[in-house]
Structure 1
């Protein structure tokens, strides 16, 4: 096994030697404990890969950051971006029934958004035989991947992961764009992001996939199948270097590919909570995870002979990536998260320095301070040029707001998300109260001069 920070397979950029060794040690432990032919991993901080390392069973032949692995369901994050590009262009809406765009389906009423969030109620897999291990030519039509009974749950009721659902989304991209989803991906996403080692077919150097016997130190090669219609569910190959670029994009967006605001929408929970996975969730094509007190977004992936994981923390400005070339064994998801944790504990990121806001509207400053909803106290602050209203003491409802061109504010979080706040002024121009979705906020508890519904006789 090759494992060492001084090897050509380990790359560092600005990390302390102790941190680099701890990261490499974690990869080496996972390769050995997981009994994987190889494990390749990378750490991203502030939008760039600052470390990658690998451990291999073959002395002197560990993969580097340019070695391809099959990434399985991380493919879904790429397909989701293609769909969201169409949404942002006005070519479709997430509320559109899929049948508006694709004809001849047995499930025309499920929506684009439900397919992205795996809430359409469709089956997890295709009818037999096992799609990951059989040629895609066996299912030439969309009807073949859905089968005679594709609906397992009422649409919108629960999160139920569906590989065929993402095959429908890939077909949707092809229908709207008029060419294959792989061509669209190359032209609209991979080329602009400089991801020249991500592809539908393996390109040397590429790791071979293996099945490792669970009870004996033996392994055999896994066959690589091209999955045809099911390709949008898990076909892509990539590298730790390319996935580092992808992680940076998922965190911050990229002009001409997808806006940061749209990616923020994708990272929001879009599926009902699954009580069997209290730390997990799903957005729009992105898995969500709570770990170490962090909110993470990304995806895991598996195909015969390969495992993959990519997790992004926008809060900590970091991402972890782990790839392995075996069907099962190493806990690549835990490894990817641990890389972020190790680096964060050893070298916590510096916060951006505080700076005063540019062109701060004096009218916003005038509104800062205490406000009362009935007898409940709230504090209005302006942070980063954006107003936020929070309960005094930190408990209860609160939200940040986006200031609209007409002077109203739109709530961005929780109970008030999407709700409108209006600043109501008196005849002399002074501020009388705030109206937040019909709730009246006043400068004093139950201000008798404010239009509190039902009236208030004053304190006595």
Structure 2
């Protein structure tokens, strides 16, 4: 969609909410906007700084006085500004993985997880989810209220954004869109992100109507109710970190509390993208012309490259810098090839992973009776409880919200993956099936191991 001043020259909402189902999307359909959530949290943070609820110069040590971080990270020096501008000098795979795919992480658990499962990194900007995740936990620790409640009270309600949700369970089922990936022949559909995975770095659903309204208030830095204030909008958008995101034409060299500061054809632009399994989104604001462009596609099938070309065409057209018709024609003409290469690349990655010698040629074909000994409940201190059970098509593993299939490779060794589009990962049991290894972690059985069953004769 495109907005300009009070007008909406383009509002194109088209397609299916869920491939294979009859419901079609409309202006009120809810799309997951992924990391664009950060731009909403940025305005919230600026508002809470202005009101004194959580000043942006608050340090991690002031939130968690006993927090210990790996050197050279120092809790007495890392502030809320550092977190939201991705300058916290920390990195982690654990928190990112857990919150994106597995389960909610309670605010009370953050000090322990940060102490045990983060690493220090060099100073400066590095985009990730970690800073916003920590900010959300810090806000709840300081106030006793989750970030979702604060966002609703301080941002969504004052801006009259009634069709932005931080809980998928609050949305009528017919208004929810599913996410999709193309396997070359058919769509693989993924259900809407559950509530427990809607976090401060990527936890909002929005309608086309409200994304248009969101662009307008950010372009004008003015709320219909007066709050958040113009000063809060300015602070949320002001560049704070030096970024380095460029394709040679579209250059993003700054980052605020939640927006990239970019330029194309010498035109200043604010932008934030978002992506997750089966969905791609972005919003671009062009203050010079009081115009904005937002796109959400409930498919991740080669949309990023197409989206970048659409961004350039929008900016060039909106600023009157010549016709972008040829760019648009080329982007459309190139798309089938982009998609074909993406599908082929995914297929080749799966084939390459399956061809590795470690799998033993995938010659093991155990019966359902034989695989019973691998069923059970296992636990990892880092990732939590994993359950292996018999499904209709064979063994399945469940870790929080994750649902994965196990494919037998050789005795005690399975390839684990979410779908046929994903390369299998090693899922290996100990000989006594008392433990297993997966995702660089050991899961120990917490129930009784079934007796070993001889192969069927």
Q: Do both share a fold (TM > 0.5)?
A: yes
Q: CA deviation at 1:248?
A: 1.4
Tell me how far apart the structure 1 counterparts of residues 245 and 88 of structure 2 sit (CA, whole Å): 18
CA 1:45 to 1:329, structure 2 compared with 1: closer, same or farther past 3 Å?
same
The question of 1:112 aligning with 2:112 is answered: no
Counterpart in 1 of 2:13? 54
Tell me how far apart the structure 1 counterparts of residues 247 and 83 of structure 2 sit (CA, whole Å): 20
Check the 8 A contact 1:289/1:297 in 2, yes or no.
Answer: yes
Tell me how far apart the structure 2 counterparts of residues 45 and 135 of structure 1 sit (CA, whole Å): 40
Q: CA deviation at 1:106?
A: 3.5
The question of 1:298 aligning with 2:266 is answered: no
Tell me how far apart the structure 2 counterparts of residues 247 and 294 of structure 1 sit (CA, whole Å): 17
User: In terms of mean alpha carbon deviation, does 229-238 or 101-110 score higher?
Assistant: 101-110
Check the 8 A contact 2:82/2:88 in 1, yes or no.
Answer: yes
Counterpart in 1 of 2:133? 167
CA 1:187 to 1:153, structure 2 compared with 1: closer, same or farther past 3 Å?
same
Q: How does 1:58-137 map to 2 (within 5 A)?
A: 62-107=24-69, 108-109=75-76, 110-123=78-91, 125-127=93-95, 129=97, 131-136=99-104
Tell me how far apart the structure 1 counterparts of residues 151 and 142 of structure 2 sit (CA, whole Å): 13
Q: How does 1:138-157 map to 2 (within 5 A)?
A: 141-143=109-111, 146=114, 148-154=116-122, 157=123
Q: Deviations over 1:218-250 (max 9, x none)?
A: 221124443748700101100121111111122
Check the 8 A contact 2:291/2:318 in 1, yes or no.
Answer: no
CA 1:277 to 1:177, structure 2 compared with 1: closer, same or farther past 3 Å?
farther
Gaps of 5+ in 2: 70-74, 324-457
Check the 8 A contact 1:321/1:336 in 2, yes or no.
Answer: no
Which has a greater percent of helix? 2
* Partner SS state of residue 157, structure 2: helix
The question of 1:268 aligning with 2:241 is answered: no
TM-score, normalised by the number of residues in structure 2: 0.59
Counterpart in 1 of 2:299? 326
* Partner SS state of residue 233, structure 1: coil
Check the 8 A contact 2:15/2:25 in 1, yes or no.
Answer: yes
Tell me how far apart the structure 1 counterparts of residues 188 and 109 of structure 2 sit (CA, whole Å): 32
Q: Deviations over 1:91-131 (max 9, x none)?
A: 44333212213455334231111111101112164357564
* Partner SS state of residue 54, structure 1: coil
Check the 8 A contact 1:309/1:333 in 2, yes or no.
Answer: no
Q: Deviations over 1:126-145 (max 9, x none)?
A: 35756422232699722465
Tell me how far apart the structure 1 counterparts of residues 269 and 11 of structure 2 sit (CA, whole Å): 20
Counterpart in 2 of 1:389? none
CA 1:65 to 1:340, structure 2 compared with 1: closer, same or farther past 3 Å?
farther
Tell me how far apart the structure 2 counterparts of residues 150 and 47 of structure 1 sit (CA, whole Å): 46
* Partner SS state of residue 289, structure 2: coil
Check the 8 A contact 2:279/2:300 in 1, yes or no.
Answer: yes
Q: How does 1:5-404 map to 2 (within 5 A)?
A: 42-56=1-15, 62-107=24-69, 108-109=75-76, 110-123=78-91, 125-127=93-95, 129=97, 131-136=99-104, 141-143=109-111, 146=114, 148-154=116-122, 157-202=123-168, 203-204=171-172, 205-213=175-183, 216-226=184-194, 228=196, 231-251=199-219, 252-254=221-223, 255-274=225-244, 279-280=251-252, 281-331=254-304, 332-336=307-311, 338-345=313-320
Tell me how far apart the structure 2 counterparts of residues 284 and 138 of structure 1 sit (CA, whole Å): 23
Check the 8 A contact 2:176/2:192 in 1, yes or no.
Answer: no
Tell me how far apart the structure 2 counterparts of residues 144 and 333 of structure 1 sit (CA, whole Å): 40
Counterpart in 1 of 2:372? none
Q: CA deviation at 1:82?
A: 1.5
Check the 8 A contact 2:129/2:201 in 1, yes or no.
Answer: yes
Higher gyration radius (CA): 1
CA 1:128 to 1:315, structure 2 compared with 1: closer, same or farther past 3 Å?
closer
Tell me how far apart the structure 2 counterparts of residues 192 and 173 of structure 1 sit (CA, whole Å): 20
Tell me how far apart the structure 2 counterparts of residues 101 and 48 of structure 1 sit (CA, whole Å): 44
Gaps of 5+ in 1: 1-41, 349-460
Check the 8 A contact 2:33/2:275 in 1, yes or no.
Answer: yes
RMSD (Å), alpha carbons: 3.2
Tell me how far apart the structure 1 counterparts of residues 218 and 245 of structure 2 sit (CA, whole Å): 27
Q: CA deviation at 1:272?
A: 2.5
Q: Deviations over 1:329-379 (max 9, x none)?
A: 21335435534544554999xxxxxxxxxxxxxxxxxxxxxxxxxxxxxxx
What number of residue pairs does the alignment pair up? 303
Q: CA deviation at 1:162?
A: 2.6
Q: Deviations over 1:259-281 (max 9, x none)?
A: 22332233232112437677112
CA 1:105 to 1:249, structure 2 compared with 1: closer, same or farther past 3 Å?
farther
Check the 8 A contact 1:145/1:230 in 2, yes or no.
Answer: no
Tell me how far apart the structure 2 counterparts of residues 208 and 263 of structure 1 sit (CA, whole Å): 32
User: In terms of mean alpha carbon deviation, does 323-332 or 192-201 score higher?
Assistant: 323-332
